[in-house]
Structure formats: structure tokens, C-alpha cells
Amino acid sequence: MEKVRTNLMLCAGTGCVASGTAKVKDALQKELEKRGLEKEIKIVLTGCNGYCAEGPVMAVYPDEIFYQKLTVEDVPKLVEEHFLKGRPYQKLMFKEPEKKTAIPMMKEIPFFKHQVLRVLRNKGLIDPEKIEEYISRDGYQAAAKALTQMTQEDIIKVIKDSGLRGRGGAGFPTGLKWDFASKVKSDIKYMLCNGDEGDPGAFMDRSVMESDPHSVIEGMIIGAKAIEAHSGYIYVRAEYPLAVKRLHLAIDQATEAGLLGKNILDTGFDFELEIYLGAGAFVCGEETALMRSIEGKRGMPRPRPPFPAHKGLWDKPSVLNNVETLAQIAPIILNGSEWYRSLGTEKSTGTKVFALTGAVNNVGLVEVPMGIPLRTIIYDIGGGIRKGRKFKAVQLGGPSGGCIPEHLLHTPVTYEDIVATGAIVGSGGMVVMDENTCMVGTAKFFLEFTTDESCGKCPPCRVGTKILMDMLTDITEGRGKESDIETLEDLGRDIIATSLCGLGQTAPNPILTTIKYFRDEYESHIKHKWCKAGVCRELTTFLIDEKLCKGCGACLRACPSKAITGEKKMPHKIIQDLCVHCRTCYDACKFKSIKILPAKFQGDPAELEAVLEKSKREAE
């Protein structure tokens, strides 16, 4: 036997693979061999660490040193310095923006430091393609306990007492859902997992399936026992090839080890598990549509009741749970409901994983106790807004969610508190937007998605979202009318009230919340034909304020359409006929001398007030 003294946990999640894991691995292996270190230092490929933007990433144990942005060129020096001579290699370490000092230890890096890992407990610590590694982290112990020592009622009670709520969006209490299904009498029942993850920008579930597939399977075995199901499906979108591959491998290994299939762990309990590949339609994430899709029919929602607990897949009693919900089950069974409740609030217990993206310094997956303020996630973990810009809004819940403004950043992330703002926790998408974001455009972005994804069954959703979409397009292109805001709100509420499924019932949320908190932006688009953020091209005029311009030429060099003229050190000028309103110069100028003004604005920016007055009068 060889003694391995160091483990190099190299990330092989989708993000890092895309940025070069395979090449880095080969280079590392070669270099270790060259130095005669290949026996004492072992490379382990892990799933996603949630820090994909800085990939490929690698954690070194037992030193707990974290490296990011690895390149093949860096490998020889890294191996020589750290692995041979024991001097961790600064160049590849995390550095805080604007500071030069490197932070070597993973647990000291702010992005990781404030996280509490329960769902992501094995993230970066195991090779997800080896069942032994999962078992070494207490894997399948909870399934063993549930199958040998617990009755159905025991399991349901622990899950109920834990307060766990479904992480797929609606936040329905998991224990209660299991209870309903367990009480229905039927020879055949199904335990299902929702890995559809249709929310654009979300990747929590993909990450769990890639980095810890057995945690989902174990949760399903326990759920199956609780409701007495003997077969189940994991519904994953085919666009997640790595997750699909690892799930297949995990199911094969678990079956071989007698953890799935007939007579699991010699306890007499049977559970067969299969994967069903979805085609990636958002609506297929809705539970009744998902079940129809597995049946081979077109994925369209149907009215409830009957609820799936009574009539689900093939009209048999079924439970559908989200990936993240299922990944939490095993630790709750092992550690008890009190342990689970020790984090979070009374009604929103435990932890939640968010996909933090957008204008923050650190983007990635973050798992935090429920109930911490939004501000903590955005500033302490996310490291604040990029390039020192100002925060404008945070979008929670994806296309079904809403935008939360700065004065509500103290809001705790719980199901209740977030709903009170008009947004939803949803599946955990969290997009941070800075001052350069147009809120009307943001609403339009999400609405475009839901309009496309509406299955078309209900006219309010099919036609209504299209009308909303057309109105938003008009507003952003300068054809908005004063009455539009009210119409958007009325129609939005009607769609919510009359749609069959969650898609239609939530699609107007991005519009309603942006009107609620950023009404002035809608008004300025409509009345003044002015997109102050400079995003809607038709609603801007770019002008250089001659009093501020230093003549540095930065804008001139940046302009892609050669619309800027001027001598060095003399005020520059934009030739309006050539300007394509791309906003590049605005970002390029260090002296803030480029002004974003209403459409067709002429003259001195100082005369803005007068022009606005005039445009207002005209509108009236």
C-alpha cells in the first residue's frame, strides 16, 4: 500500500471542464511523474465547487489551499513550488478585488467563509464517480437507518418536524407531501425527482447532480420507503449531459452494490430507479406536465385536484421532489429534526442554495442558512458590486420572481419575507443588477422567456404574456403610452388570476415588481423617451459635456462606429448621425463627461430640464 500525503481535488464540473480541467489534469499528472511525486500526491476529480467563473479550480488537502484559474503553463511552477518544496503558489490564489494580497486558505476566502454546507456537503470533497467516496462520507447510512430501524411514520415525522420545505419553488412542506401519499392505498406508487431546472441562470440542481449524485438517490430511497413506492424516475434535462452521465453511473454502482433494485441492503425493500431525459421545456418542470412527459405525452399541465399524491404518474399516487430537497433528506434522517431546525427561521428552516450571478464581484453557488439578510449574501459573500458601481436591484426567483430594490436589502431570505416583497425565493436564482441596468428591459428579458415557454393551453397565459411582451417592446422602443403602466398592472393581475399553472400564475411578477419599485423608470421611458441607464437604444442620446471633457480620447478610441471626433486635450464631440447608441463611450470615459440624455435631445445637457418640460407638455 502506498501512503498518499496530498489530495489534489481538481474540479471537473461543467464550468471547469469548459475552461480546461482535462488539459490541466494531464499536465499535473505528467509533472508529478517527472518529479517522482505521483505516488504520494493523488489527483481526485470532483464535481462543481460552485465557483465556476474562476475555473478550473482546485483545493489541496491537507493544506486546505485553494487555487483558481489554473492553466497548463502554470502547472510546472505550481508542482515545483507547492508540491515539491512546500511553498504554496501565490500567483494562482484568490485575491480580493482592489487588493493585492492573496488569500491561500479556502476557509478564509469570503466567498466560502460565510457558507454553511448541508446540501453541498460533499462539494469538492469526493469523486462523484466513485460510490466508495460517497459512502466514506456517511453515505447510505441514512438509507440503512430508514430501512432497518424506522417505520414509514417515523420517517415522515422526522421530515415534518424538521420543517423542510420543497426547494423546487413553491416551498411546500416535504413531510406533509409524503404523508399524503403514504396514506393513499395503492399497489403501485412512484417516487420522482425533478431535475428539470428550467430557470435560466440557475444551476444549483445541476451542481448537486454532478458533484453528489448519490445524495439525490439516497433521498429518493428514503422517500420511497416513506410512501411505499417501489419504482421511481429522475427527470433531467438532456442539456445536462454531465449530470446525466454521473447519475447513470451512480445508479449503476448503487444497483451493483445492492443499494437500489431488489432487496436493498438485505432488508427486503425494493426500489428501482430510472432516468428520464426531458427536452428542456420550462413548463415540463411543473409537476403535472412532468408526469405527462414521462408518460410519453406532450408536457402540458393539467388542473389539480386530483393532486399527484392521489393521481400522479400513470394515475398512480406519486411524490415529486426537487433535487435540492432530496439531497437534504439523508442528513436529516441521520442527525434529526432539531439539528435541521438549528439553522433558519421558525417557518423557513435549514439552508438554501442560491445561484448568485450578475454584477457582483464573486459569482457562483452559495449555500446559506435561511433568514440571513439579502445584503449579507450580496456584500459579504458576493463581495459587493463590481467595478465599484452602485447597486440597483436583485432579481430573485427567475422568470417567476421579481426585483427587490436597495431599501429592502435587509429582507431576510425566507419564503414569507421574500414573497412579501413581491418576488419569490423560487428555485434560488439570484441576479444582482447595478446602476447600468434598465429595469424595463429586465422585465422584458424575463417575460420574453415565459412568453416563449408558455405551453399554450390557457389563453390568458398564451395571449396575455404576448400582449404584455408587445407593450414592453413598445415602451422600450419609444412607442409607450401613459396608460400603459396601468394596463400592464391590470392585465398582469388577470393573467395571474386566470392561468392554470405556476408559469402563467407567476409570469407577470417581473413586471409587477419593477413597476412597484421602479415606476419612475417606466414613466421616464414613456413620458420623456429616456432610458436613463442608456440601454434602450431608441430612448437615448449620447452627448459629451464639454465642460467636463478632458480630451483624453478614451471615448474616441472605444467608439465602434467612429462617431467621436476631437483633438487631444480639447473637448470631444459625438456626431449624432453616426452614433449607434451602443453606450461604449459612456463606460470608457473616466471623467463621467458622457451624458445619457433623452431620445433626440439637442443642445446643452444643462438645458435638460427645459427639454423635459417641453416633452411633457407635448405628451399631454
Partner 1 sequence: MPRLTVGDLQKIKEKHKAEFTLREGGYRAKVTVHMGTCGIAAGAREVMTALLDEIANAGIDDVIVTTSGCAGLCAREPLATVEIINAPPVKYCDLNAEKIKEIFREHIMAGNPVEKYALVVGCETMY
CB of 249 to ligand FES, least distance (A): 17
Element (H, E) at 356: strand 351-358
For the CB of residue 443, give the shortest distance to ligand SF4 in the complex, in Å: 18
- Residue 454 interacting entry, from ligand FES, ligand FMN, ligand SF4, none, C-beta within 5 to 8 Å by type: ligand SF4
Cβ distance to ligand SF4 smaller for residue 204 or 461: 461
Q: Is 268 in the site for partner 1 (CB under 8 A)?
A: no
Q: Which stretch binds ligand FMN (CB under 6 A): 31-39, 160-168, 592-600, 607-615?
A: 160-168
Please pick, from the candidates 20, 29, 61, 248, the single residue that binds partner 1 as defined by CB under 8 A. 61
What minimum distance in Å lies between the beta carbon of 500 and ligand SF4?
A: 4
Residue 163 as a binder of ligand FMN (CB under 6 A): the answer is: no
Q: Which residue from 382, 512, 399, 400 is spatially nearest to 391, judged by alpha carbons?
A: 382
Q: Is residue 325 a contact residue for ligand FMN (CB under 6 A)?
A: yes
Q: What does 84 bind: ligand FES, ligand FMN, partner 1, none (CB cut-off 5 to 8 Å by kind)?
A: partner 1
Residue type, 225: K
Nearest alpha-carbon partner for 200 in 275, 276, 292, 281: 281
Q: How many CB atoms lie within 10 A of CB 125?
A: 21
- Tell me the three state secondary structure of residue 273: strand
How far is Cα 182 from Cα 478, in angstroms, rounded to an integer?
57
**Residue 282 contact, options partner 1, ligand FES, ligand FMN, none, Cβ 5-8 Å cut-off depending on partner type:** ligand FMN
Cell of 467: 400582449
Q: Which residue in the set 33, 34, 77, 87 belongs to the binding site for partner 1 (CB under 8 A)?
A: 87
C-alpha cell at position 463 = 395571449
Which of ligand FMN, ligand SF4, partner 1, none does 197 bind, CB closer than 5 to 8 A by kind?
ligand FMN
Answer yes or no: are the C-beta atoms of 508 and 443 closer than 8 Å.
no
- Helix and strand element counts for the chain (H, E): 25, 20
Say whether residue 331 binds ligand FMN (CB under 6 A).
Answer: no
Contact between 9 and partner 1 by CB under 8 A: the answer reads yes
Give the largest CA-CA distance in the chain. Answer: 86
Q: What residues contact residue 169 under an 8 Å CB cut-off, 6+ apart? A: 322, 397, 400, 424, 425, 426, 427, 502
CB of 64 to partner 1, least distance (A): 8
SS3 assignment, position 175: helix
Q: Is residue 194 involved in binding ligand FMN (CB under 6 A)?
A: yes
Q: Name beta bridge partners: 58.
A: 10, 67
Kindly tell me which residue out of 52, 119, 327, 440 binds ligand FES, with binding defined by CB under 6 A: 52
C-alpha 1, offset from chain centre: 43
Looking at 58-66, 335-343, 497-505, 547-555, which segment touches ligand FES (CB under 6 A)? Answer: 547-555
Q: Which stretch binds ligand FMN (CB under 6 A): 130-138, 194-202, 225-233, 535-543?
A: 194-202
CB of 511 to ligand SF4, least distance (A): 16
Write out the residues near ligand SF4 by the rule CB under 6 A. 283, 301, 454-458, 461-462, 499-501, 503-504, 542, 558-559, 561, 563-564, 574, 579-585
Count CB atoms within 10 A of the CB of residue 450: 25
Question: Rounded to the nearest 5°, which phi and psi values hold at 611?
Answer: -65, -40
How many other CB atoms are found less than 10 A from the CB of residue 116? 15
Give the C-alpha separation, 596 to 374, whole Å: 30
3-state SS record for 317-381: CEEEEEHHHHHCHHHHHHHCHHHHHCCECCCCECEEEEEEEECECCCEEEEEECCCEHHHHHHHH
Judged by beta carbon, residue 13 or residue 504, the one nearer ligand FES is: 13
Taking the C-alpha atoms of residue 104 and residue 96, their distance in angstroms, rounded to an integer, is 11
Binding site for partner 1 (CB under 8 A): 1-7, 9, 36, 40, 42, 61-63, 83-87, 125, 131-133, 135-141, 144, 148, 253, 256-259, 265-267
Binding site for ligand FES (CB under 6 A): 11, 13-16, 48-52, 55, 57, 544, 549-555, 572, 589, 591, 593
